[in-house]
Structure 1
Amino acid sequence: MRSKVYRVLPRRTGILLPILFFLCLAAGAQEKRLSDYKVSLQLQEGTVQQALTQLQEATGLAFTYYEEDIRQTAPVSIRVRNAALDAVLDRVLAGNNCTAQLSGNKVYLRPLRKAPVLKPGVIKGRVLDKSNGQILPYATVRIKGTAAGATTDKDGQFLLADIKPGKYTLLAGYLGFGMAEKQVVLEEGQLLELTFELESLTKALSGVTVTGIRRGEAKALNAMRNADNIKYVLAQEQMEKFPDNTVSESLQRVPGVAVGYSYGVARDVIIRGLDPTRNAVQLNGNRVPATETQSRTTDLNGVLSNTVESIEIIKTLTPDRDADATGGVINIISKSAQEATPVLSGKALIGYNALTQKPNYDLSLSYGRKRKRLGYLLSASYFASTRGQDRMDISYEDFEVEGVTSRKPESITSEAFKIDRKNLGLTLDLSYDASPNTSLYLRTIYNKYYEFQYSGSIGYGIGEYDGQDHVTDMTIYREGRWRDYHRDIITLNFGGKTLLRQFQVDYDVNLNKGLYDQPKYWNASFNLEDQSARLDLSQPDLPVIHFDHAAANDLSNYTTRNYINRHERVDDKDAQVTLNATRTFELGQDKSLAIKFGGRYRYKTNERFRNYYNHVLLEDEPDFRLSDYLSGYERKDFLDGYTHLHGFPETERMEQYFRENGSRFSEDPTYTRQNTDPDSYNGKEDLAAAYVMGTFRMKKWDIVTGVRFERTSFDYTGNEVLMDETGKYISTTKIDHRNAFHGFYPSLNVKYKLSERTNLRAAVTRSLSRPNYYDLVPWKEIERRRSRINQGNPDLVEETATNYDFLFEHYFASIGLLSGGVFYKDVKDVLFDYSYEQQGGEFDGYRINTVSNGANGKVYGIEIAWQQQLTFLPGVLNGLGIYANYSYIHSKLTVPGIVTTRDIALPEMRPHVGNVSLTYEKHGFSGRVSAYFFAAFLASVGDVPELDEHEKGRTQLDFSASQQITPRLKAVLNLSNLTRAKRGDYLGTAQYPLNTYIDGWWGSAGISFRL
C-alpha cells in the first residue's frame, strides 16, 4: 500500500506553468542536493511520521514512501538548528535500512536492495595417470589466480568447497608428470566433478620407465612436498624394493630413524635419538594399542610391510594430531580400494636362514575394486620363519687376585636360540559414497604375531680367582627354556567425510585391542657345583674354559630339584571418537585462510597379570638328573666355530612330568607372590582433547598454527607386597591411586616455496610423552631383609618438549629429493630410574628404587638425504640411482645418581646413523645394494661411568632385485646381512665386552604379480 504524499500539487496550474518552466531550467543548470536544505527540528519521544511531517513543512518537499518500508524502531528525540537535511534524515531514519533520494521537490525513501547472494559450489574429482588409469595420490589441484587449492588424498581424490560461481581455470600437477589444465564454469550451488589425466615427463630413455619403485617414490615425494608439516613418507612400492618383511625393518631406511634389534630383526624404533616410549605409533591417524608388558609401545615386528599402503614418519606436529610424540609419529596407512578396474595382487616367496638351516615362507594376496559408489578390498598376508641367534653373555665383578683388586668375569653364558615366528595380517576395507557430499568407510585390521622360542644355555658362575687365569668355586648351569609370545593388534574403524554447507566435516569411531600373551614358559636349570678351571681370556669377547676335572663333562652329574613355569598376559583396549570440521575463507587473490577445529575422546583400559611358579620336589623325592631329560637340540658351529653347544634339558618333558606328578612337588609362595603381585595391576585412562588451527596461504607462503589442549586422567590399582627380615612373604595389599595431568600444546609450521619444487620449512612445536603404564601403578615391593623398597610412582607428570625444526628440500623433476635440516628439542621433566635413601619414617635408611621426573634434556641434530635416479647419465648408466641419508644427533641429560649428578647422552640414541643404497633400474630389472649403519652408543646408564653399557657400532649389507617377466609378473630375490655382521656391547670400555650376538644371513626368492 502506498503511503500518503505529504506535499500535493495545487489544482490552479495556469499561473504556475511559467514558473515550473523556469524552475526546470534552474534545476537543469544546477541540481539541488539534500545537503543544500538547512532545517531546524525539535521533537521529543515522537514518531518517524511526525518527524517527516515537520521536515516537509520546513522544506516544502514532499516525502514519498511505502509504509512497510519505514519502521518505528525507537522513539525519535532530536533537537537541531540549521542542519543539513541529509544528516537530519539519517538520525530520523536510524534503524531503517533505506536511502533518501531527491527528485525535483520530492524525496523518495526507498529500502536498500541487497545484491543477491549466490550459493557457492563445490568442485571434486580425481587425478589419474593417463598411461594406465592408476590414481595419483597427493597430487596438487589449484584454481589459477586464487589461493584455492587442494591435495588429493591416498585414493587420488580432491575436494574444493565453498567456491563462488564463475569461470575458472584449474591446474593439476604431480612430481614427474606434466601439468594438466581444465577450464570450467561453476554454476550456483553446483557440485562439479572432474577427472584429470596427467602424462609422465620421463625422458625417452631406452628401458627407463616410471614403474615399480619410481612410481612409489613419486607418490611418497608428492606427499612430502605438499605436506603442511615436516614428514617423510615410504610408499608400499618402495618398501618392496628392500628385503624388509616388517614395518620395523622398513623404518630403518628413513632419515633420522634408528632401530634396535631382536634376534637379528629390527624391532625398537628410535626417532631422532628418542626411544619408542617417546614416539607414537598410529594406524590411519589413531593410536595403536600397546603389545608390550609395561610400556605404551607397540612391537612393529607384528605388522608386515606388505599389509600397508604407506608409512608416514611425522617429525613436526600440527594441532589436529595427538601431542604425545616428542620424537615423532609413525603413522601407518592401511590399504584401500582405489581403482575402478578389479586389482588382484600378491606374492609367493620361499627362503632360507643360514644359522638355523631352516626355510621361511612369505605369501600375500589382495583383491580390491572401486565400483561406482562402493569400494572394497580384501587382503591377507602370511610370513613364517625359523630364525636363530648365538649369544655370549659376560658379566663382571671386582675380585682380589694376588693382592690386587681388578675387574674380571663373574659369569659367562653361552646361549643358542631357535625362534619360530609366524605373522598373519588380514584387512577388510569398505568405502561407500552415500551422496555427492558424504563418503563413509568401515575398516577392520587384524595383525597376528606369534613367536615360539627354544633356547639352550651353558653358564659358569665364578666364585673365586686363585690366579690370574684360574678360577675355583665355580657352578656350571645347563638350562633349557621353552616360551612363546602372542602380540596381536585388532582395530575396527567406522567414519566418513561430509560436506556440510561451507564446512568439511570428518568423523571417526575407533575400537582397538592390543594383546601380549605368554601362555607357555617352561624353564629348567641343572647345575654342578664346586668346579675349577683355567680361563683363557686371550679373546675377551669369547672366553674359553678348560675344566680341571672330567666330571664337568658328565651330564649325569647335573641335577636340579626345581622346575619353573609361568603365564603372563597384558590386555590394552581403547575406544575413541574423533570429530573435525574445516572451513576455508578466500581473503582475496592468492590468499586464503582455512579454520579447522575439533576434538577427540579416548577411554582406555590396561590390565596385566602374572602367575609365576617355582615347583620344588618334596624332600623324599630324588633329584632330577640331566641325563634323564636331555634335549636333542644343539648348535654345532656355535659362534662361528667357537664350540659345539649341546647338553640341554628338554623342558617339555619336565612340564609333562609336573602335570602327571603334581603331588610330588611343593610350591614356593615367596617366589610366586614376589614375582606375581608387584607386576599385576589394572588401570583406566581418559583422554580428552580439543584444538583449533588455522592454515593461511599467500602466494609462496603456507602457515599453519594453532593450539591443542589435552587432559589425561587415570586410575590404577596395584599391589603392595611385604617381605619379612628373613626374606619370606608376609602379605599383599591392594593400592588404588587417581591422578591427572593436562596442558596446552601450541605449534607453528611455516613453508616458503622458493620454487614449485623447492621448499624452506620451519617449525616450533610443543609436545609431550606420557609415563609408561607400569610407572604410574602404585605398586610396592618392601624387602626388610635388604632394607630396600622397589616401587612405582603415580605422582609422575608427563614429559614436555619444545621442538625447533628447519629444513631445506628440493625435489627433482626426474623424481628425487635433496634435503638437509636441523632440529633442536628442549625436553623437561625427563623420566629416569631413580634411587635414593629414605630419610625418616618407618623405613628410615631404606634404599628406594623408583622412577622420577628429572632435569631438562636437550637433543639436537642434523639430517640430510639424497635420492635420485641418475637418468641424465649416458647409455646403460642412466639406470643408476642413489638412495642415501645420514643423521648426526647429540643429546645431554642431567640426572642425579647414587654417587653424583651426571651429564649423559640419552640412552638408545645413536649419534651417527644412515643408509647408502646403490640402485639400478632398466629394461624391467630393478636391483639395489643397501647398507644400514650406526655408530657406538650408550645403551644403559650405570651409577658411575665405568658401569655404563654401550653398544658397538654396526653396518649391515643387504641386496634385493626383481626382474619383470611379463607386464604383470616379476621374479624377486632378497638377501639380508650378507656380511654376517655381528652385534655386541661392552661395560664402560671395549676391554670389557658384555654380549656378542651372531644372527647369520637369510634370504628369499619367488614371484610377485599384479593382475
Structure 2
Amino acid sequence: MKHLLIITAAFFAAGSAVAQKGNIKGVIADKSDPLPGVSVSVEGKAGTLTDMDGSFQLIAVDTGTQTIRLTYLGYSTLEKKVHVQNNETVDLGSIALMPSNSVINEILITGNYRQGGQAKAINMTKVSDKSVTVLSSESIGKSPVKSTAFVIRQAPGVSVKDDKVSLRGTPVDWTASLLNGDRLPTADEKDASRVFNFEVFPSSLIDYIIVNRTVTPDMEGDNIGGVIDFMTKIPASEKTFNFDISTGYDIMTRKPLLNGSLALGNISENKKLSYTLNGSYSADNYGKDAPSVAYGTNYNHSLARLQLDRDRGLRQTGGVNAAVDYQVNENFKLGANVMGGYMTEDERGDRMSYNWSDGSGARIRLQDKRGKFDHLLYGGALNASWKLSDKFKVDARVASYYNRFQYGHTPQADQGGPDGDYTVEFISPLLHYTDMIQTNFFGGTYDPNNAKDPNPYPYKMLDIDNPYHNGGDHYDNIQPKYENLDGSKSTLTASDYYLSSVFADLNTTWERDPIVGRLDFSYKVNNNLKFKAGFKYRDKNGARNISFFEYQINPMVPFMYLSDQQTTSYDPHNNYLSEWGTPYSGTFLPVLTNQQLNSFVSDNIGNFKAKPMDINNNNFRQWAGSSYTYSEQTIAAYVMSEWKPFERLSLTGGVRMEHTILDETSDTLVDDNNTAIGINKEAVSIHKSYMAILPSLNALFIPGDNSNIRAAVSRTFHRPNFEQTKPGSALFNRDQYMYIFGNSALKPTYSLNFDFSYEHYWGTKGMFSLGAYYKKVTDHIFRTNQIDGSQSIDGYVVKSYENASNSYVTGFEALIDRRFEFLPGFWKGFGASANITLSYSRMNVPGRTKSQPLTEQTPLMYNAALFYEKGKVSTRVTLNYTGAYSTELNLFSDINTNAVVHDNTDYDVFMGAMYSLDYQFAYAVSRRINVYGTINNILNAPYRTYIGMPERPLLTEYYRQKVYLGVKFHL
C-alpha cells in the first residue's frame, strides 16, 4: 500500500514536467459501428486507444506536419498526415477503417454472424489494461442457448451454478455480476445471496460481455473471483432493424417452445441524437424428474425419506432495453437507458414421498402442487459527460433499480386465501416398513453381546452403507417395502389415502437500489500518463417475507379419500426416470387432475377453516424468524493512474476504499402468557459498519505486436449475504426440513490476489493464452450443519454460517481459440476453441484437524467447441464441464464433549459434476436472412447433489433435451 502511493506520487511529478503543444482528436469507425480499442499513435512515439464510442484524443503533439498511425487487428493499417498548430486541437472527424483482405473474404456471412463484432471483441481483449475476455453480440449469438447466464459459459474460466455465474470455479457470490457497471439488486425464490439471477434478463439484450479476471480501482471491490460486466446495447450509429424468431420442442414435456427478439435503432442526420430499442419474449415449456433422498441422523447414513417429484411448467420471459444519446455540443453529451425484465412460471408438481421416519409415524405422502412464480426487474440510468478541456473530463451517472419475487395468483386463492404455492396432501395410514436392517446406533454391525450397544436400531440403508455387505438398494433403484400395521396389505390403493392438509408456501422478496450515484474525473497529463479519481454511493434496502398458510380440516368432516377425487396418471407416458430404467413403473398412485386441483379449495371450502401463520398458530414457533428487512449504504472512493513509461509497458494502479453500513432486523421468540401458545415475537436488530481498503496494480508488457504478458496484484473482498448475518430466530426452510440461523458476528471475506498470464493473437483468427493465479483468503464464509443441545429443534436439520480463518486458492488456466485457415479448400472453414481451469484450494475448518478444499470451489472446469464457418454454413458443437465441489460442511457437535463428530468429508454436502453438450447449425439464405437450429442438453446430464460420495445422492434432477428452429433477419 505504501509503495503504491509512492508510485502514484511519482506519476504526478513526472506529468507536471510535460509541456502542452498541439492536440489531435477524432472518431474511428468501420462501415457501421464505432471501433473501441484502436491504437492511435504519432509514428515513432507513444499514442492512445479509442474509447467505447470510438473517440480518441492525442495531446502535446509536436507542431508541424505529423503522421498518425491507426492499427486494429483484422483491419488495414491507416496512416494520415495531419498539420498541428501550437495550442490548437485538430478535429479529424470520423475516420473509417477498412477490414483487411483476409477479413473481407470472411465477411461472406458465416451462419448468422458478422465478423466485425468479433474483431472488436478480440481487440478489446488485447488492448485492455487488465486481464479480460470480451464476448461480442455476434459471439453471444453463436450460443445454442438463449439464457444470459448460460451464454457466458463459453468464456474461459466461467461456470454456471444454479443459474448463477462463477469465475474460476470460485463461490458464485465471489463473482461480481454487473449490468453496465452496476451491481443489480437481487430477489430470488430460493437463493437469498447477493448474486443476480440473469434468467430474468434475456441474452438478446446484451451487446458485450466483459469477463474481468483482474481488477482496477474504478471497479466494484466486492469481487474476489472477478467481475463479469454485461453491457446492454448502446444507441445505434446507423439505421438498424433486426429480428430473431424461433420455435422448438421440449422432449420431457412434449410441448412447444417459442423465442423472439426485435431490435430497432437510428441516428439523426446531424449525428446528435441516436437511440436503440430492444425487446425479447420467450415461452418455454419445461419439466424435470427429480428423485431426492433425506438422511435421518448425523451419526449414520440411514434413509429417512425418498421423494419422487415430477414438475411440469410454462416459463414466460420478456425483456426490454432502450438507450438514447444526445450530443449537446462537442464537449457535452447526455445519455439515458432504461431496462426491464420479467419471468413468470406456472408450475404443476406431483410428489410421492416414502417416509421411514415421520413426525406422525411411518407413512407415504402424496402431494399435488400448483404455483405461479413472478419475477420482476426494472431500472434505468442517466449519464452525462463533460469535456472541460482537452485534458480534463468529468463523467456522472445516477441510476435506480428494483427487483422483486412473489407468488402469483392461482385459482386456489380465489376463496380469500393468499397468493402462494398451493399443495393438497393425501397420506397413507400408519405403515410398517419391512426393508430395514438391524444395526447399532452408528449404522454398524449389531453385536448383542456388546454391553455398550444393548439394543438394535432398525435402519433403511443403501447398498454402499450396509454394514453386512449383503444387500441394500442402489441409489438409482430404491424400492421401499411396507405393509399395514396389521400386516394385511403390502400394496396400497387410492382408497387407502385420505386428505391430510391443504396449505400454501408464501414468499415475497424484494430489493431495491433507489439511488446509485457515480462521479468520475479523468485528467490526461500527456499521452503516456492519465489520472482518474471518483466516488460512488449506493443505497440498498430490501425485505424477505417467508410464511405459511393452511386450511385446517373441520374435525367433524368424514375422511376425504383420494379415490373419491378426479384423478389421472402420475406418469402418463410411463417414462419417469427413464434414465434409470423407469424403476418405479407401475408403483405410482394417481394424482389430481388439473381441474380438480385448481378447484379443490372452492369445492370443499365449507369443510375448511383458514389458519394463517399468526401468534395463535401452533406452528408459529417454526416460522417466527423467517422474515427480515435490511438497509445498506455503501460509499466508495478511488484514485488511480494509467502510466506508459515505455512504448511496450503500461502500468495501471491505485487504491479503492469502500465503507459499508448495514442495519438488519428480524424477529425472535419471547414468552407471552397472553397468547394461545404462550409465545410471541419481538424485533431484534443489528448495526454493522466496516471499511475495506483495496489497492491494485496491473502491468502489461507487449514483447511483440501479437503477444502480451500480464501481471497483477490486488486486494478484494466479499460482503456477507443478508441471510447469513440475519439476527433473531432461525429462518425455516419447510421444503428441505431445515432451520437456518444467521450469524451476526460474521466478518467480510478478504483476498490478496496475484495473477500472471501470457497471450498470443493470430489476428482475428483467434488467440492462445496461459495463466496462473493465487488467492490468499481470510475469513472465508461457509455453511455448516452444526447442532448441539441448545440448537436442536424438533429433530430438523439446523444450519448456520461461520468464518474459516486462513484459506487459499491457486490455479492454472489455458485457452486456445483458432480458425484453421491454413488448411486447404473445404477444411479451412474448421476451427476449435477450448479452455480449462484447474484449481487447488485449502481451508482450515474450526473443529477439524486437517485442512480441506474450500466450499463452493470447483477444482476443474473446461469448455470445448468444434466449429465450421465457411461461406453460408456455420455449425458448432460445444461441451461444458464443471467438476464436483462441496457446498456445506457437517460440523455436528457431540452434546457431551462439544467436539465435532466428523473429522472428514463423508457427511458433507457436495454439488455433483455438471456437463452439457449442445449443438447449433445455421445457414445464410441471403446477406440479410439466416435460418438456424439448435439442440440443447444432448447428453441429458443431471443436476445432482450428494452426501460424501456420488453414490449417496441427495437430489437428482433430469431435464432432457430442447430443440429449436429459427430465422434471423438483419437490415
Q: TM-score range by the shorter chain?
A: 0.7 to 0.9
Q: 1:852 aligns with which of 802, 809, 812?
A: 802
Q: Percent identity?
A: 24
**d(CA) in 1 for partners of 2:148 and 2:424?**
35
Q: Is the 8 Å Cα contact of residues 361 and 383 (structure 1) preserved in structure 2?
A: yes
Q: What is the deviation of 1:166?
A: 4.5
- Say how many residue pairs are matched: 860
Q: TM-score, normalised by structure 1?
A: 0.80
Q: Is the 8 Å Cα contact of residues 723 and 729 (structure 1) preserved in structure 2?
A: yes
Q: 1:529 aligns with which of 418, 429, 438?
A: 429
Q: What is the deviation of 1:496?
A: 2.2
Cα deviation digits, residues 319-353 of structure 1 (max 9, x gap): 0111001011121100022323x110011100100
Asked if 1:708 corresponds to 2:668, the answer is no
Q: What is the deviation of 1:780?
A: 2.4
**d(CA) in 2 for partners of 1:817 and 1:181?**
26
Distance 1:329 1:582, change over 3 A: same
Cα deviation digits, residues 7-50 of structure 1 (max 9, x gap): xxxxxxxxxxxxxxxxxxxxxxxxxxxxxxxxxxxxxxxxxxxx
**d(CA) in 2 for partners of 1:163 and 1:437?**
20
Q: Greater shift after overlay, 626-635 or 177-186? A: 626-635
Distance 1:838 1:134, change over 3 A: closer
Partner of residue 882, structure 1:
832
**d(CA) in 2 for partners of 1:672 and 1:408?**
27
Distance 1:530 1:889, change over 3 A: same
**d(CA) in 1 for partners of 2:553 and 2:739?**
31
Query: Aligned partner of 1:276: which letter?
Result: V
Q: 2:375 aligns with which of 487, 500, 505?
A: 487
Q: 2:640 aligns with which of 693, 696, 720?
A: 693
**d(CA) in 2 for partners of 1:272 and 1:888?**
8
Q: Pairwise mapping of residues 191-206 of structure 1 onto structure 2 (< 5 A)?
A: 192-203=91-102
Q: 2:192 aligns with which of 288, 291, 294?
A: 294
Q: What is the deviation of 1:763?
A: 0.4
Asked if 1:643 corresponds to 2:584, the answer is yes
Find the residue that maps to 1:829 and give its secondary structure.
Answer: strand
Partner of residue 454, structure 1:
348
Q: Is the 8 Å Cα contact of residues 242 and 974 (structure 1) preserved in structure 2?
A: no
Find the residue that maps to 1:652 and give its secondary structure.
Answer: helix
Q: Greater shift after overlay, 867-876 or 936-945? A: 936-945
Asked if 1:831 corresponds to 2:831, the answer is no
Partner of residue 231, structure 1:
132
Distance 1:735 1:228, change over 3 A: same
Query: Aligned partner of 2:36: which letter?
Result: P
**d(CA) in 2 for partners of 1:321 and 1:666?**
46
Q: What is the deviation of 1:616?
A: 1.8
Distance 1:412 1:126, change over 3 A: same
Query: Aligned partner of 1:971: which letter?
Result: V
Partner of residue 871, structure 2:
923
Distance 1:302 1:790, change over 3 A: closer
Q: What is the deviation of 1:956?
A: 1.9
Q: 1:369 aligns with which of 253, 260, 266?
A: 266
Find the residue that maps to 2:116 and give its secondary structure.
Answer: helix
Q: What is the deviation of 1:922?
A: 1.0
Q: Is the 8 Å Cα contact of residues 420 and 453 (structure 1) preserved in structure 2?
A: yes
**d(CA) in 2 for partners of 1:904 and 1:723?**
42
Q: Is the 8 Å Cα contact of residues 627 and 731 (structure 2) preserved in structure 1?
A: no
Q: Pairwise mapping of residues 149-164 of structure 1 onto structure 2 (< 5 A)?
A: 149-153=48-52, 155-160=53-58
**d(CA) in 2 for partners of 1:416 and 1:835?**
28
Asked if 1:249 corresponds to 2:111, the answer is no
**Structure 2: gaps of 5 or more residues:** 1-18, 409-419, 436-470, 733-737, 892-901
Q: Is the 8 Å Cα contact of residues 550 and 610 (structure 2) preserved in structure 1?
A: no
Distance 1:485 1:325, change over 3 A: same
Partner of residue 582, structure 1:
522
Find the residue that maps to 1:273 and give its secondary structure.
Answer: coil
Distance 1:223 1:646, change over 3 A: farther
Q: Pairwise mapping of residues 204-283 of structure 1 onto structure 2 (< 5 A)?
A: 209=108, 212=113, 214-261=115-162, 267-283=163-179
Q: Pairwise mapping of residues 332-481 of structure 1 onto structure 2 (< 5 A)?
A: 332-340=230-238, 342-371=239-268, 372-397=271-296, 407-463=301-357, 474-481=362-369
Q: Pairwise mapping of residues 699-778 of structure 1 onto structure 2 (< 5 A)?
A: 699-722=647-670, 730-778=679-727
Structure number with greater CO (CA < 8 Å, separation at least 6) is 2
Distance 1:671 1:121, change over 3 A: farther
**d(CA) in 2 for partners of 1:339 and 1:162?**
30
**d(CA) in 1 for partners of 2:301 and 2:856?**
25
Query: Aligned partner of 2:570: which letter?
Result: E
Larger Rg: 1
Q: Greater shift after overlay, 877-886 or 551-560? A: 551-560
Q: What is the deviation of 1:477?
A: 0.9
Q: What is the deviation of 1:382?
A: 0.5
Q: What is the deviation of 1:853?
A: 2.6
Q: Is the 8 Å Cα contact of residues 643 and 650 (structure 2) preserved in structure 1?
A: yes
Q: Is the 8 Å Cα contact of residues 557 and 607 (structure 2) preserved in structure 1?
A: no
Q: 2:554 aligns with which of 613, 618, 626?
A: 618
**d(CA) in 1 for partners of 2:914 and 2:506?**
35
Distance 1:143 1:779, change over 3 A: farther
Q: What is the deviation of 1:537?
A: 4.9
Cα deviation digits, residues 426-479 of structure 1 (max 9, x gap): 011111111101121110000112222221011111259xxxxxxx97411111
Find the residue that maps to 1:194 and give its secondary structure.
Answer: strand
Q: Is the 8 Å Cα contact of residues 625 and 728 (structure 2) preserved in structure 1?
A: yes
Find the residue that maps to 2:624 and give its secondary structure.
Answer: helix
Find the residue that maps to 1:903 and give its secondary structure.
Answer: coil
Asked if 1:179 corresponds to 2:179, the answer is no
Q: 1:511 aligns with which of 396, 400, 407?
A: 400
Partner of residue 565, structure 1:
504
Query: Aligned partner of 1:330: which letter?
Result: I
Asked if 1:977 corresponds to 2:937, the answer is yes
Q: Is the 8 Å Cα contact of residues 367 and 426 (structure 2) preserved in structure 1?
A: yes
Q: Greater shift after overlay, 678-687 or 473-482? A: 473-482
Partner of residue 863, structure 1:
813
**d(CA) in 2 for partners of 1:666 and 1:711?**
41
Q: What is the deviation of 1:551?
A: 7.0
Find the residue that maps to 1:876 and give its secondary structure.
Answer: helix
Cα deviation digits, residues 111-165 of structure 1 (max 9, x gap): xxxxxx978545121221xxx4444333332333332312331x43334466675
Find the residue that maps to 2:118 and give its secondary structure.
Answer: helix
Q: 1:997 aligns with which of 951, 957, 962?
A: 957
**d(CA) in 2 for partners of 1:460 and 1:766?**
50
Asked if 1:542 corresponds to 2:482, the answer is no
Q: What is the deviation of 1:977?
A: 1.4
Asked if 1:654 corresponds to 2:604, the answer is no
Q: Is the 8 Å Cα contact of residues 561 and 616 (structure 1) preserved in structure 2?
A: no
Q: What is the deviation of 1:580?
A: 0.7
Query: Aligned partner of 1:512: which letter?
Result: Y
Q: Is the 8 Å Cα contact of residues 786 and 890 (structure 2) preserved in structure 1?
A: no
Partner of residue 684, structure 1:
631
Query: Aligned partner of 1:351: which letter?
Result: G
Q: What is the deviation of 1:605?
A: 1.0
Q: What is the deviation of 1:789?
A: 9.7
**d(CA) in 1 for partners of 2:628 and 2:873?**
55
Q: Is the 8 Å Cα contact of residues 398 and 406 (structure 1) preserved in structure 2?
A: yes
Cα deviation digits, residues 917-942 of structure 1 (max 9, x gap): 11001111110111112333323322
**Which is strand-richer, 1 or 2?**
1
Cα deviation digits, residues 241-277 of structure 1 (max 9, x gap): 121111111122221122224xxxxx02222222222
Q: Is the 8 Å Cα contact of residues 922 and 930 (structure 2) preserved in structure 1?
A: yes
Find the residue that maps to 1:529 and give its secondary structure.
Answer: coil
Q: Is the 8 Å Cα contact of residues 208 and 922 (structure 1) preserved in structure 2?
A: no
**C-alpha RMSD of matched pairs (Å):** 3.1
**d(CA) in 2 for partners of 1:789 and 1:355?**
34
Asked if 1:948 corresponds to 2:897, the answer is no
Q: Pairwise mapping of residues 668-679 of structure 1 onto structure 2 (< 5 A)?
A: 669-670=616-617, 673-679=620-626
